[in-house]
């Protein structure tokens, strides 16, 4: 299971990458940095919270995990 700190760091690093993508795609379609930055910021906040919750819920599940045998 990942620690809470590790989940937070993973969440933030992924969010930076994804936010940059949202900003540039939005700018491409709107030709407005104001709209692009607003969309990027809103997307980052909402998706960061949802990703964190998603990761913590998965950490409560044993689905797909292999158990180590203790000798």
In this prediction, residue 66 carries a pLDDT of 80
Q: What is the pLDDT of residues 43-64, one digit of tens each?
A: 999 988 898 899 889 889 888 8
- Work out the burial of residue 29: count CB atoms within 10 Å of its CB; fewer than 13 is exposed, 13-18 middle, 19 or more buried: exposed
Is residue 1 scored above 80 in pLDDT? no
Residue 67 lies in a domain: no
Residue 69 is predicted with a pLDDT of 79
Please tell me the total count of domains within the chain: 1
Q: Grade residue 11 by pLDDT with cuts at 50, 70 and 90.
A: confident
Q: Does residue 64 lie in a domain region?
A: no
Is the pTM higher than 0.85? The answer reads no
Q: Looking at the domain assignment, is residue 26 inside a domain? A: yes
Q: Left (φ > 0), alpha (ψ -120 to 50) or beta: where does 31 sit?
A: left
Upper half-sphere CA count for residue 30 (Cβ side, 13 Å): 15
> By the 8 A CB rule, do 51 and 15 touch?
yes
């Amino acid at each position: 299971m990942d620690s809470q700190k590790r989940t937070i760091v993973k969440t933030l690093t992924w969010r930076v990458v994804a936010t940059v993508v949202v900003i540039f795609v939005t700018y491409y379609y709107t030709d407005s940095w104001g709209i692009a930055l607003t969309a990027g910021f809103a997307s980052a906040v909402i998706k960061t919270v949802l990703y964190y919750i998603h990761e913590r819920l998965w950490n409560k599940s044993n689905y797909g995990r292999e158990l180590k045998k203790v000798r």
